[in-house]
Amino acid sequence: MLEVRGINVYYGAIHAVKDVSIEVNEGEIVTLIGANGAGKSTILQTISGLLRPRTGGITFMGENIGVVAPYKIVERGLAQVPEGRRVFLRMTVTENLEMGAYTQKSGGIADDMERAFTLFPRLKERRRQVAGTLSGGEQQMLAMGRALMSRPKLLMLDEPSMGLAPILVEQIFSTIVEMNRDGTTILLVEQNAQMALSVASRAYVLETGRIAMQGDAHELAGNEEVKKAYLGG
């Protein structure tokens, strides 16, 4: 479904992503783990078209999206929940969800919004509230609900557990699994490697811009090196 082939991404002279290849098949949950500054967010931004690779290619549903404008990539069914949520703080919950549905015909929006509210009942209670007044956890739910409004075939999430209490992290992850069961393919970027490996089928480990390891999520969770580096011994 998504194929990233040997991309190199630079910030000026900084070589942030080195020769990275990633593949995501339909129906999977794939996770990309790595320490701070490894280049995870850079990779997701490049897939969404906000950054361009200097070399290498990106194919989504058999089409080269390496040169497609970011808004058209969303139209093709590839959405992202960015790092730090980035909900529109001065807009209400409903308006945020409407923005998520920007690429959709107005006919189905009400149903999709109902679906988002079923997934996140908290949002429904607060639908007239301005997003800036939501708690961190509620903002994360809103960011996920908003991304779902574009009916993505592939949803990329950048550190959805960041800054959340353990119980909320559980909830967010079970929602990710639920979204996947409903037919959305997932590419999950995480620092919480333990949680990520427990829900994913395959994983990539990124170290300073390079893929250091990849394979079956269960096997990687049992790998000594991974345990030492990412699972606290």
Partner 1 sequence: MVYGIAKMLNFAHGDVIMVGAYACFFVVTRYELPAVLGVLIAMAVCTLLGVFIERLAYKPLRSAPSLAVLITAIGISYFLQNAAQLLWTSNPKVFRSVVGDASLKLFGGRLSVSVSALVTVAVCIIIMIGLTWFTGKTKMGKAMRACSEDKGAAQLMGINVNATISMTFAIGSALAAIAGVLLCSAYPTLMPTTGSMPGIKAFTAAVFGGIGSIPGAMLGGILLGIIEIFGKAYISTQLSDAIVFVVLIVVLLVKPAGLLGKHVQEKV
Of residues 145, 152, 151, the one with CA closest to residue 120: 145
Candidates 15, 35, 70, 199; binder of partner 1 (CB under 8 A) is 70
The answer to whether 105 contacts partner 1 (rule: CB under 8 A) is: no
Interacting residues with ligand ATP between 8 and 67 (CB under 6 A): 11, 14, 16, 34, 36-42
By a kind-dependent CB cut-off of 5 to 8 A, residue 33 interacts, out of partner 1, Mg ion, ligand ATP, none, with none
CA count, 13 A, side-chain hemisphere, 9: 28
Q: Which is nearer to partner 1, 54 or 86 (CB)?
A: 86
Got the DSSP string for 17-42?
EEEEEEEE-TT-EEEEEE-TTSSHHH
Q: Give the 3-state secondary structure of residue 154.
A: strand
Residues 6+ apart with CB under 8 A from 134: 87, 93, 126, 142
From 55-63, 144-152, 175-183, 197-205, give the range in contact with partner 1 by CB under 8 A.
144-152
* Six-digit token string for 133: 């007044």
Please report, as ranges, the residues that interact with Mg ion according to CB under 5 A: 40-41, 83
The residues binding partner 1 (CB under 8 A) are 48-50, 69-72, 74-75, 79-80, 82, 84, 86-91, 95, 98-100, 102-103, 106, 132, 146-147, 150
